[in-house]
Every structure is written in C-alpha cells, then in structure tokens.
C-alpha cells in the first residue's frame, strides 16, 4: 500500500552508461515530480508533469529525459551518465487543486563510477 514507490532503490553504474528510474504513485494525484538531492542534501526540482504533460523543466542537461505514460507513473531516463550525476533522486506527487503538499518516494541512490 505504498503511496509513492521508486525502483530501484540503489543503482551503481559506470560512466557512459544509460539507466532508468521508475516511479509510481497510487494516491490518485495528477502531478508528479523528479527532484535531485546532492551530497550536501540540497534538494532541487528537475521536472514536473501534470496529467502527463511536462509543465516544469528546470535547467537540466538533455541527457535527462522524463516520461509519463499515465498520471500514475513518471520515469526518468539518463543517457551517458557522468560522475556528477551521482545523487539521490526523489519522485514526488501531489494534487494540483485539492491539496498542496507533495508526497515523496523513498529515493533512488545513483552512484556513477
């Protein structure tokens, strides 16, 4: 009965590889997000989707491509991984009109070697 789930929880890979992180929410929310938390715990939004439509796209390298097949899922694909991509990536969801808080997933710790 997990509200926002992410897979995998840990991801260790080499530079240059391509990897994906999946996110699913069962809260009936219409908006989903990807955040990046760096080694200093700073959280920054990367993308936001509302009803499968991209509405926020911060200054993120083109190597990062989100995809939302439906309102309950938001995946993040990363091409040509670099050392600087190592971080914890959090997925979150919210309802755009009924409530305002965002519910976060447990995070995916990505380590690029």
Report the interface residues with other proteins, using CB under 8 A: 4, 30-31, 33, 40-45, 48, 50, 55-56, 90, 92, 96-97, 100-107
Question: Which residue do the tokens 């992180």 mark?
Answer: 21
CB of 67 to other proteins, least distance (A): 19
Distance CA 91, CA 33 (A): 6
Least distance (Å) between residue 16 CB and other proteins: 28
* 4 vs 21 by CB, closer to other proteins: 4
Of 15 and 56, nearer to other proteins (C-beta) is: 56
Tell me the C-alpha distance between 25 and 27, whole Å: 6
Facing residues of 75 across strands? 67
Q: From the CB of 80, what's the least distance to other proteins, in Å?
A: 26
Query: Which of 70/101 has CB closer to other proteins?
Result: 101
Phi then psi for residue 84, to 5 deg, are -70, -10
Q: Which element (helix H / strand E) includes 110?
A: strand 108-112
């Amino acid at each position: 009965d997990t509200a926002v789930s992410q897979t995998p929880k840990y991801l260790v890979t080499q530079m240059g590889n391509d990897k994906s992180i999946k996110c699913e929410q069962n809260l009936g929310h219409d908006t989903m997000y990807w955040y990046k938390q760096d080694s200093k715990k700073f959280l920054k939004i990367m993308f936001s989707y509302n009803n499968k439509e991209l509405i926020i796209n911060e200054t993120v390298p083109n190597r990062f491509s989100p995809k939302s097949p439906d309102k309950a899922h938001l995946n993040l694909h990363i091409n040509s991984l670099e050392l600087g991509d190592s971080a914890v990536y959090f997925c979150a969801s919210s309802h755009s009109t009924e409530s305002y808080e965002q519910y976060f997933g447990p995070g995916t710790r990505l380590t690029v070697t």
